[in-house]
C-alpha cells in the first residue's frame, strides 16, 4: 500500500500537541493493519515530516517521495514500535531521516563519480551535543526551533552534520565550500546553539 501525499504545506507544529498516548495508540492500531488509524496518523504527521524532509533534501518533489516511502515503512513496521525505546514521533522521524540520508548519499556518490576533486575523511563533523534519535520529542523540536535562528550558512552546515552525519570533508564537498570555512561555521553554529538552548537540558 502506498498512500498518496496530497499538496501539504510545511508545518512546524509539534505533533506532541496531539498527545503522545494518542499517537502511540494509533501506531499500535496501524500495526494491526487498521487503515483508519493509518489515515489519522498520516494526517497528523505528514505536514511536519514533509517539512523536515524538505529541509534535508532541498527539493519538494523528492521530499514528498521520501514521505510517501516513509509511510509505507510505517505501515509495515508499526507493529515493531517499542514505546519504551523512543517516543512515537521520534520513531517516525528516524525513518524519514534514514531515507533522506540514503538519497543524499546516493546523490553524493553520483557527484563523486563525475568528479574526484573532493577527498573524504572519516573524522566526525563535530562534537554535536545531541542526537535526534535519543532526545525527548519536546527537546527535539526545541533544537529544531533554535537551529532556525542561526544564519543560513551556519544552519546548513549544522543540519548536514547532525541530521545526515556528514564529515567535515563531506560537508565541504556537498556545499562546495572550503574545508576551513566549514569548520569555522560549525564551531560558530555550535556556540550559538548552546547559548540559545541554555535553558534546556540536553
**Do the beta carbons of residue 22 and residue 41 sit within 8 Å?**
no
Largest CA distance in the chain: 52
Residue 3 located in a structural domain:
no
Does one domain contain both 108 and 23? yes
* Whole-number CA gyration radius for the chain: 18
Tell me, what's the pLDDT at 169?
87
Residue 4 located in a structural domain:
no
Domain count, the chain: 2
Does one domain contain both 71 and 130? no
Does one domain contain both 126 and 47? no
**Do the beta carbons of residue 1 and residue 75 sit within 8 Å?**
yes
Write the CATH number for 141: 1.10.10.10
Residue 61 to residue 58: CA distance in whole angstroms: 9
Least Cα distance to 41 among 10, 19, 60, 66 occurs for: 19
Residue 1 located in a structural domain:
no
Residue 42 located in a structural domain:
yes
Residue 120 to residue 134: CA distance in whole angstroms: 27
Residue 103 to residue 50: CA distance in whole angstroms: 15
pTM: 0.56
Structural domain harbouring 152: 118-202
Residue 155 located in a structural domain:
yes
Write the CATH number for 70: 1.10.1740.10
- pLDDT tens track of the chain, all 202 residues? 444 445 554 444 444 445 678 888 999 999 999 999 999 999 999 998 998 888 888 888 999 999 999 999 999 999 999 888 888 888 998 899 889 888 887 777 666 554 434 333 434 444 444 444 444 555 666 777 788 888 989 988 888 887 767 788 888 888 888 999 999 999 998 888 888 777 555 4
Does one domain contain both 78 and 163? no
Amino acid at each position: 500500500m502506498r498512500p498518496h501525499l496530497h499538496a501539504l504545506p510545511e508545518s512546524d507544529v509539534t505533533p506532541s500537541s496531539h498527545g503522545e498516548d494518542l499517537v502511540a495508540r494509533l501506531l499500535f492500531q496501524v500495526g494491526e493493519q487498521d487503515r483508519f488509524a493509518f489515515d489519522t496518523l498520516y494526517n497528523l504527521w505528514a505536514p511536519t515530516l514533509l517539512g523536515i524532509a524538505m529541509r534535508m533534501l532541498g527539493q519538494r518533489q523528492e521530499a514528498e517521495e521520501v514521505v510517501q516511502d516513509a509511510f509505507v515503512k510505517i505501515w509495515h513496521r508499526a507493529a515493531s514500535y517499542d514505546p519504551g525505546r523512543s517516543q512515537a514521533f521520534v520513531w517516525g522521524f528516524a525513518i524519514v531521516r534514514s531515507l533522506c540520508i540514503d538519497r543524499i548519499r546516493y546523490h553524493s556518490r553520483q557527484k563523486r563519480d563525475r568528479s574526484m576533486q573532493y577527498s573524504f575523511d572519516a573524522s566526525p563533523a563535530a562534537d554535536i551535543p545531541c542526537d535526534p534519535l535519543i532526545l525527548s520529542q519536546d527537546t527535539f523540536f526545541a533544537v529544531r526551533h533554535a537551529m532556525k535562528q542561526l544564519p543560513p550558512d551556519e544552519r546548513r552546515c549544522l543540519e548536514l552534520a547532525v541530521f545526515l552525519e556528514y564529515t567535515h570533508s563531506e560537508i565541504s564537498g556537498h556545499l562546495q565550500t572550503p574545508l576551513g570555512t566549514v569548520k569555522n561555521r560549525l564551531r560558530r553554529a555550535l556556540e550559538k546553539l548552546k547559548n540559545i538552548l541554555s535553558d534546556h537540558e540536553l
